[in-house]
Structure 1
Amino acid sequence: MHECLPQSYEEQAVTYAFVALRAYLILLKMLPNYYKHVCSHENTLITKFFGLHEITLKGGRKVRFVVMGNMFCTELRIHHRYDLKGSSQGRITSKDEINENTTLKDLDLSYEFHMDKSWRESLFKIGEKVFPNGDRYAGSFKGLLPHGKGKYTWSDGTVYDGEWDHGKVTGAGNFRWTSGATYEGEVSGGYLHGCGTFNGTDGSIYRGAWRINVQHGLGRKQYCNLDIYEGSWKEGVKEGSGRYDWSTEDTYIGNWKAGNMCGRGVMKWANSDMYDGFWLDGLKHGSGFYRFSDGGYYFGTWSRDLKDGQEHSILLGAKFHLYQTGIALLGTM
């Protein structure tokens, strides 16, 4: 609804506003119930409509407008008038144009909100609450909800100590579960979300990004057997680029998918063997280059960790390696 009034009408008992077709149809639909309500509640504070009209101008264009009570019709002096639409685009008046008859806009409104001290103290307070199920919260409240910093202890012994936002675990804090697992870091909406450190009951440690309670993004995990993975995670599993160091001193650097080596990657074993090529589900698969600890090489293709017979022999002085369908032959020239 857009108000478009001649200045002379604004001080009168009624005012006019042009309406679009959609608003016109909505008003038509609601008028019967509106009329009954106003008749039953003569002191209602809702806008009083006196008429809804549609006229056809010369040329055939139709104009629709509503006649309603003017709340500015008063004997009191009105110092400022505002036409507020909740918008900032073009919603400011040039200071040179402002006088008592100017209708100001959104960005012209400057105000401060003051709350009674007793209300403020009742809304923002520190205390303790025990719930019927045995849960307990101690900390800051906003109204009836935990807000700010506080400690929540569940009836099963799980503890969260950290920040809250309107009753939800949000901000930074730490969890301690009865199983012995712990988490310290960012949380949001009750979830492990952001960056944080998780210590598992098996002795594993994960430091990195989380999304809704699972590892997601970049992170580093040290397993209970001292293996270490550092790289990308997706929904709790290794996926993307990363490095895995086994406690046996084997190392893989490359791509991962669904928790397995998949795509291009380089594997180095503790005995100095090395493979540079493609992987599938943790197995050598596709084209690749294998270098043996004794200096021998293999160029060829692999099928699920087995050489498929399409090979190249590399001479090593008086020795050579020949591979056929996964069988290695060693001979002399």
Structure 2
Amino acid sequence: MTQTPPDLTPRLARRPKSFPAPEFPPRKPKLFARTPPAVFSALLGLLGLGLAARRGLGWLGLEAGLAEAALGAILAVFCFALAALAVKVARRPAVVLEDMRVLPGRAGYATASMGVMASAAVLAPYAPALAAGVLGLGLALHLALAALWIKVWLGLPAEGRVVTPAWHLSFVGFIVGAVSAVSMGFEGVAQGILWAVMPVAAAIWGVSLAQLIARIPPAPLRPMLAIHLAPAALFATVAHGLGQDLLAYSFASFGAVIFASLLLSARWLTASGFSPLWGSFTFPLASYAAALISLGGHWAEAGMVVLLLAAALIPMIGVRVVKMWATGALAAKTNAAEA
């Protein structure tokens, strides 16, 4: 009588799955293939700090040589980062859409094109024609990126389509171009941008306030609330440059409310510890300092105090973010796509 062999199916089912052996040596990504767009938030803040220092030294009647030297160095780093991102995008253009599906990525692309517009203000005293071309390039890039973000947004699930402070960067960030346009005498351009984006900023402020009342944002995302200060500061700067002082003082006062709220809640905003999103503190702070200084008088005195705070905080954040980029940690922490 033959004996039935035992059923080995359960034992085989319990056998662990096999996985392919890891690559050796490990594969290295191509040069600049994973450049993190998030680095541009901090670089934009450094550019803004240099421009605010230029304005502050001018108000004091001092030579701005130190500020100009710093601006030159920051502009060089910014151009290097922009070239690295361009290499990544040229290698596989679809990587832009992948980056923009995550919050740090889309904020990073927006601040990159805003940085191009800010670079025009850096160059304006030295090469007006070049600055005008850079301004046009920055505005065109920002418009293209805003259109791409709308395309990505339409394809996101419902939870990914929530309004965030970063919407200011994508849809109100054109106002940085208006600041540069005023400095170059393109008042019509500045006026058009100002009146086009003010209603957009007002809508984002309103929706964000309602969200903040309804629920407390998670600790890692709280630093982005500082972005709400930037439009108020930039509107004040542009309005003053256009001779619309009532509008300028109104936005400066509104900015004071936001700035005071941020100061009072600083511990709450930073509860999760340092992260790349701390770059959100940099450009709004520098922009508000520059706005107050531009108004002169007691406003400028307050602006110099804000500038001192910015000078202490922004380089610290900028250096840490750039170091994270150099080590590859920034790409990993912000889920940067690889080309």
Tell me: higher relative CO, structure 1 or 2? Use CA pairs within 8 A at least 6 residues apart. Answer: 2
Query: TM-score scaled to structure 2, two decimals?
Result: 0.18
Larger radius of gyration: 1
Greater strand proportion:
1
- TM-score of the superposition, structure 1-length normalised? 0.19
